[in-house]
Amino acid sequence: MTNLVEIRALTVEATTDSGRKIQILKGIDLDIAAGETVAFIGESGSGKTTAAMTLLGHARPGCRISGGTVKVDGHDMATLPEKERAALRGTTVAYVPQSAAAAFNPASTIMDQVIEVTRIHRLMPPDEARRRAVALFRALSLPDPDGIGDRYPHQVSGGQLQRLAAAMALIGDPKVVIFDEPTTALDVTTQVEVLRAFKAVTAQHRIACVYVSHDLAVVAQIADRIMVLRNGAVQETGSVHDILTRPAHPYTQELLHAFHPDTGGREALPVADSAAPLLEINTLSAGYGPPQSNGQPLVLAVKGVSLQVKRGTNLGIIGESGCGKSTLARAIAGILPACKGDIQFNGKELWHSARQRSHDQLRDLQIVFQHADTALNPAKSIEDILGRPLTFYHGLRGKARDARVDALLDMVRLPRALRHRRPAELSGGQKQRVNFARALAAEPKLILCDEITSALDTVVAAAVIDLLKELQRELGLSYVFISHDLSVIEAICDEIVVMYRGQTVETIIPADRQPPQHPYSQLLFSSVPKLDPTWLDTLNIDADRMRVA
Amino acid sequence: MTSRVPSLILGRLLIALVTLTIVSFAVFFATTLLPGDTATILLGQAATPEAIAGLRTAMHLDDPALLRFVYWIGGLFRGDLGTSYANHMPVATLISGRLANTLKLAGLTTLVSVPLALTLGITAAMWRRTLYDRIVTIATIGVISVPEFVLATLAVLVFAVYLKWLPALSFTYNVDSFSGLLRAYAMPVITLTFGVSAQMIRMTRAAVIETLNTPYVEMALLKGASRPRMVLRHALPNALGPISNAVALSLSYLLGGVIIVETIFNYPGIAKLMVDAVSTRDLPLIQSCAMIFCFGYLILITTADIVAILSNPRLR
């Protein structure tokens, strides 16, 4: 008997803007049996999503399947006419997108979109489809399964939308479902619930899955086999156990290594053990919206947070999205003036608004934003981007400025030749280094890093973290490191503050190796996926109960 | 969840009202800046200074401008548009017939151009980068580039002079039969349709293509949806806002900007009335026409805004 999915010598070709043709998939072979889950893993640009999409006979605009066969249930998706391909989409092969928030049409209700597959392919009458959808909502443990379908996409949370997207894929009873990084955009605590729901439903219906991800630990929970991709070619295929315990290919080893960030190697600095901390904030509150009668903004995102950063040490702030951690950073930096509390920096009281702070205070406290793509002016060369703060803070011009730009590029391990390029011509990791170098240009004492590794691949992120540690050794900086990723924070921080709903719930010192005390921190820490494939099944947490506590 | 729609719509209407007030200021004071003295123009060069002074007093021309503005606005609220300086007829009477003509022409053009433009724009977006799309694009750009008076003159030359199918002038009084109506309006409507459709086609195409590039349309494709379904069910509802604004902007042109077409086809519309009023320095008439144009424009734009608000479930 042949397999459900048989991919042979598959190549996909892309045409660049300049008309050059490049191969983005270079001959892939893969078999998937019915009911089996295969994970495609690799960094961004490795071709994993492109490979998964060929199962639907789809190539993104500018790309085309240029050779090989993709047999799904006996049909070659690569050569089928568009009409017949469309007939198989949603019924034989279905797709769960990376960002469900973007993949739902904002103008129609969730139910309409979930049952659209049955309407397109005339599978069943709408009433029956609705009943089926509600059953699926229940199976995916969505709240209010009877009523959630009447809402619009903007009225439900990201984790719920991701599960609704799965319901949308499952309603047509497909034989293969493609999950395209379905939990990447979610918090770890939500990710656990979503993964569980996916696993239960696909096992129950014996659906074959293709699970695209860059997160080995997530994949370990859900897949039977792993295919490691890099630069459009398969590096290694094997069972989860084999890949995790005996990675044969160097790239797989690198991936596994990146998963265990080096927590050591950052020996305590010769701290001038002065009692005065570098940064101290007391009962700081900040929020958004017009001020109310009590002088507070409409929505209070940070509620009376107090913390300290000692000279030469790093503070990590962790919490789920919406907990106020980025708002806190913006309030410290003075971009969003705090409405209450005080900020002491380097022994001096700081104004709440950056506009009123002195030149030196601005220089000493720099912030690095999460998305280097949007934080760097796309119209300026790297040289200009790094040169501006040099002129602004240090009055450097001409040769002196050029030399300093070179020095900064050296510091962040970027080739000097990059100085003439624009941000769009750099990779994600390179852009984040430039973003960081711009903060370094001011020669600050403290850098606020707001999720700076979240948009990066595991391997690249690990390299950026190593760089940060090294620069700290050389320049005696302090970091306030904001992230939702515990492993990143543990790798670099001396002290971790857990934030939840605008407040700090616990301070943890990793060196003490004390288990977290607060129920929310316990939930957060236990939700971080482990490489152990049995982790998800043995995990015993009740997220809702812990959240309320 | 309480709906924000009523307050949003109320806000739009208030903005429209404020705009109207500002425009009335501008219209009034701009027209008083027109060179020449109304009394002298009315009485002719030979009038005695006493006669001119008497007329000035009678017409309140010597009162401060602000006071005259208050009189004028008060009159507008009572429905009294004033009396024409040139022929001493009430402005309301002069305008009403012409306005009806203009609205008739605008209405007919809207009926033809909006469905045509939306269909062409949406289908061009649907079959993007095909031969069909190229032809539509080239044709619309061609039409945009040709000035209206050339189009109108060409139409007269082809249909009236060579083919002799249609009358060169639109005598609107013999439109008692359907064929008569068709004959009278065909050429002005065709010319205007060319002018306003081109913009709408371009904007509709661009708005639909913009939404076609979103992940939710790709999702619809991966659910097996056909091209028409992707465009009509997923892209179009989310492109309604920009499209309705493009339509409103194009249509607003039909109220005041059709002077060339009205002149060439000798069509007795309101734009022509206004130009005549300018040449006779007939201030009440100019002011009333300008206010009507502004009012029509505001109605269209506000409607477009309200459509955009209603089509967005986030605001509903």
Whether the predicted pLDDT of A547 surpasses 60:
no
Maximum mean pLDDT: which of A313-327, A434-448, B163-177:
A434-448
Q: Do A91 and B224 touch (CB under 8 A)?
A: yes
Q: Which helix (H) or strand (E) holds A340?
A: strand A340-345
Q: Do B219 and A86 touch (CB under 8 A)?
A: no
Whether the predicted pLDDT of B106 surpasses 50:
yes
pLDDT value of position B128: 85
Per-residue pLDDT tens for A348-380? Answer: 888 888 888 888 889 999 999 888 888 899 889
Torsion of CA A18, A21, A22, A24, to 10 degrees: 110
- Among residues A381, A472, A476, A467, which one has the least CA distance to residue A429? A467
Which chain A residue is nearest to residue B213, measuring alpha carbons?
A61
Whether the predicted pLDDT of A153 surpasses 50:
yes
- In chain A the domains, ranked by start, together with CATH numbers, are 5-257 (3.40.50.300), 295-514 (3.40.50.300)
Rounded Cα distance, A203 and A76, in Å = 26
Confidence band of A175 (pLDDT split at 50, 70, 90): very high
pLDDT value of position A270: 47
Contacts of A56 in chain B (CB under 8 A): 222
pLDDT value of position B25: 86
Confidence band of B175 (pLDDT split at 50, 70, 90): low
Whether the predicted pLDDT of A1 surpasses 70:
no
Q: Which helix (H) or strand (E) holds B108?
A: helix B91-126
When the candidates are 3.30.530.20, 3.30.310.80, 1.20.1050.90, 1.10.3720.10, the CATH number that belongs to B91-281 is: 1.10.3720.10
Whether the predicted pLDDT of A396 surpasses 70:
yes
Q: Do B314 and A89 touch (CB under 8 A)?
A: no
Per-residue pLDDT tens for B253-277? Answer: 887 677 778 888 878 888 888 888 8
Whether the predicted pLDDT of B238 surpasses 80:
yes
Across chain B, mean pLDDT equals 84
Taking CA atoms, A467 is separated from A387, A436, A472, B264, in Å, by: 21, 10, 9, 75
Q: Cβ–Cβ contacts within 10 Å for residue A494, how many?
A: 19
Q: Where are the domains of chain B?
A: 91-281
Q: What is the side-by-side order of every strand in the sheet holding A348-350?
A: A297-309, A279-291, A340-345, A348-350
Rounded Cα distance, B249 and B254, in Å = 10
Q: Which helix (H) or strand (E) holds A302?
A: strand A297-309
pLDDT value of position A46: 83
pLDDT value of position A508: 85
**Cα A505 from chain centre:** 24
Confidence band of B316 (pLDDT split at 50, 70, 90): low
Mean pLDDT value across residues B54-81: 79
Rounded Cα distance, B87 and B44, in Å = 14
Rg for chain A (alpha carbons), in Å? 25
A-B Cβ pairs (cutoff 8 Å, strict): 72
Rounded Cα distance, B154 and A504, in Å = 76
Look at A389-393, A540-544, B99-103 and tell me which has the smallest mean pLDDT. A540-544
Mean pLDDT value across residues A16-39: 87
**Three-class DSSP category at B259:** helix
Mean pLDDT value across residues A61-65: 85
Determine contact: A108 vs chain B, CB below 8 A.
yes
Across chain A, mean pLDDT equals 85
Burial string for A106-117 (b: 16+ CB within 10 Å, else e) reads bbbbbbbbbbbb
Q: Do B234 and A105 touch (CB under 8 A)?
A: yes
Contacts of A161 in chain B (CB under 8 A): none
Interface probe with A: pick from B219, B226, B229, B311, most Cβ of A within 10 Å: B219
If phi > 0 it is left, if psi is from -120 to 50 it is alpha, else beta; for residue A513 that is left
Confidence band of A192 (pLDDT split at 50, 70, 90): confident
Whether the predicted pLDDT of A517 surpasses 90:
no
Whether the predicted pLDDT of A144 surpasses 60:
yes
Whether the predicted pLDDT of B49 surpasses 70:
yes
Please identify among residues 57-76 of chain A the ones whose CB lies closer than 8 Å to any CB of chain B. 58, 60
Pairing of strands A365-368, A348-350: unpaired
Per-residue pLDDT tens for A472-502? Answer: 888 888 999 998 888 888 888 888 999 988 8
Largest CA distance in chain B: 86
Look at A255-264, A495-504, B104-113 and tell me which has the smallest mean pLDDT. A255-264
Mean pLDDT value across residues A31-35: 90
pLDDT value of position A549: 44
Identify the residue with better confidence: B253 or B122. Answer: B122
Q: Which helix (H) or strand (E) holds A279?
A: strand A279-291
Q: Cβ–Cβ contacts within 10 Å for residue B33, how many?
A: 8
Rounded Cα distance, B289 and B260, in Å = 17
